[in-house]
A and B are shown apart, each in its own frame.
Chain A
């Protein structure tokens, strides 16, 4: 993947990114989940990065929460001209921290799967769960994702 000539974007947690221009989107995931959506017809893509599964009415209704992040990402792709049936998804993250009993990672994964299913978007690739963080790089014009596990803690 040539990265010298293409726009780059680092995706911070609680944000999402989708633009028509080709971008390489980088992010680092622990228990967070990132959903990469790619339009196979228009060759455009977008990605989110959320930390918790559900917004519970506290604070702002931001894409920090899976249910909001996934909905907003799909909406944004549709605004850019995508039809949901042309969208495919790749899912990453959701590692469970060893000392955590509530398994945020698992619940983050679950919400992505449920919502994508409801939108009728097929998940074609995934690397989820486990206990090790991931670093991913998504090329929004090809849909290709490079992933590397972070060094073990």
Chain B
């Protein structure tokens, strides 16, 4: 330190250093807090993962047991035609929910393995959404839910994205809306294409989500209600998959909700540019890599 400095200057200098030190300590403290939070979360997540099989056992076992029993009854050949129809329709709806669950499980395994590949093609959105709604017809009718769909997209308008991923994203959003809606209520679905973006929203009159719960609904294996007494099925993968798939196809998801009133989920997806994919991504001529300037290197 400069010996010529006055006492006052020295004190000022020291105060400054103390303040700096304190700030550093504070920062360290908050970082540690953060770390502890993350650590807790990771422990919880790993715990949920190891309980995954036992958690989903019912989800898989119950439908399989009903399908076995129903099909056995049908194959015995003693049922009336009406009974066969009823049983077949039950088998269909059990198999549908099983298939949906399995598709989610496989999708999450694929994403976690980093092997989910994006294949954009031209899609006719109205027919895609109609197909999905039709597939949920059973559940929608069972709960006596009315669906209102509004769009200004023409039937023959094309949108370029990955149809398989979009299918699973929209299925999850619609499935959630149906599942968490009270019986006899309505669901509003809107979709548009604006500025090369696909915007889709679904509004339900269901159980809703509180602000704190908004944090956890996108985490894997997490549901607002947990444990064996929960009222709703599923295994808490749907929204975590939805968000991860949206990231892959260049989209995002927003949620607005009020507890016991309903939820509003909206997604927007940027159109994949077919031309850039062809030209940029699968460039066959290798021209992009001819080393004419200093910017280019071989490693």
Known contacts A12-B248, A14-B248, A48-B114, A60 near B108 by CB under 8 Å: yes
Known contacts A56-B42, A62-B111, A149-B295, A12 near B118 by CB under 8 Å: yes
30 contacts between A and B (CB under 8 A): A1-B289, A4-B284, A8-B284, A10-B277, A12-B117, A12-B118, A16-B113, A17-B114, A17-B115, A26-B283, A55-B42, A57-B38, A57-B44, A57-B45, A59-B219, A59-B220, A59-B243, A59-B244, A60-B220, A60-B240, A63-B113, A64-B247, A135-B288, A144-B299, A146-B297, A148-B289, A148-B295, A148-B297, A149-B295, A149-B296
Q: Is A110 an interface residue (CB 8 A)?
A: no
Q: Is B173 an interface residue (CB 8 A)?
A: no
- B115, A14: Cβ atoms closer than 8 Å: no
> Top 10 nearest A-B pairs by Cβ distance?
A57-B41, A63-B114, A16-B114, A10-B281, A145-B299, A125-B299, A149-B295, A146-B289, A15-B114, A57-B42
Instruction: Give the Cβ gap from B77 to chain A, nearest Cβ, in Å.
Output: 47
Tell me the chain A residues, 1-36 only, with Cβ under 8 Å from chain B: 1, 3-4, 8, 10, 12, 14-17, 26
Instruction: Give the Cβ gap from A23 to chain B, nearest Cβ, in Å.
Output: 12
Q: How many angstroms between the C-alpha atoms of A62 and B113 in the bound complex?
A: 7
The total of chain B residues at the interface (CB under 8 A) is 37
Q: How many angstroms between the C-alpha atoms of A126 and B299 in the bound complex?
A: 8
Q: Is B112 an interface residue (CB 8 A)?
A: yes
Q: Is A69 an interface residue (CB 8 A)?
A: yes
Task: Count contacts between A and B, CB distance < 8 Å.
Answer: 103
Q: Is A116 an interface residue (CB 8 A)?
A: no
Q: How many angstroms between the C-alpha atoms of A62 and B117 in the bound complex?
A: 13
Q: Is B298 an interface residue (CB 8 A)?
A: yes
Q: How many angstroms between the C-alpha atoms of A139 and B295 in the bound complex?
A: 20
- Select A58's contact among B108, B219, B285, B298, beta carbons within 8 Å: B219
Chain B residues near A135 (CB, 8 Å)? 288
- A148, B288: Cβ atoms closer than 8 Å: yes
List the A residue with the shortest CB-CB distance to B115.
A15
Q: How many angstroms between the C-alpha atoms of A60 and B38 in the bound complex?
A: 14
Chain A residues near B283 (CB, 8 Å)? 26
Known contacts A3-B284, A148-B296, A61 near B112 by CB under 8 Å: yes
- B112, A62: Cβ atoms closer than 8 Å: yes
Instruction: Give the Cβ gap from B47 to chain A, nearest Cβ, in Å.
Output: 11
Chain A residues near B244 (CB, 8 Å)? 14, 59-60, 62, 64
- A interface, CB within 8 angstroms of B: 1, 3-4, 8, 10, 12, 14-17, 26, 48, 55-64, 68-69, 72, 90, 92, 125-127, 135, 137, 144-149
Instruction: Give the Cβ gap from A100 to chain B, nearest Cβ, in Å.
Output: 18
- Select B299's contact among A14, A68, A90, beta carbons within 8 Å: A90
Chain B 227-263, CB within 8 Å of chain A: the 1/0 string? 0000000000000110110011000000000000000
- Select A15's contact among B42, B45, B117, B299, beta carbons within 8 Å: B117
Q: How many angstroms between the C-alpha atoms of A84 and B218 in the bound complex?
A: 35
- B288, A3: Cβ atoms closer than 8 Å: no
List the B residue with the shortest CB-CB distance to A54.
B38
